[in-house]
Amino acid sequence: MPFGTVKNPKNSRLYVRFRIDEKRDLSGEAKNAGLTMSEYVRRRALGLAVKSRVSEQAINELLEGKKLPEQLRGRVVRFAEIADDALAYCKANNQRTAVRWLPYRAPQR
Least confident piece of the model among 3-7, 19-23, 59-63, 95-99: 95-99
HSE-CB for 65 with a 13 A CA cutoff: 7
Q: Which domain holds residue 50?
A: 20-68
CB–CB of 40/33 below 8 Å? yes
- The predicted pLDDT at position 67 comes to 62
In a domain, 5, yes or no: no
Q: Is the pLDDT of residue 86 over 80?
A: yes
- This prediction has a pTM of 0.45
More confident residue, 76 or 71: 76
In a domain, 80, yes or no: yes
Using CA atoms, how far apart are residues 40 and 35, in angstroms rounded to an integer? 6
pLDDT band at 85 (very low <50, low <70, confident <90, very high): confident
Does residue 84 share a domain with residue 59? Answer: no
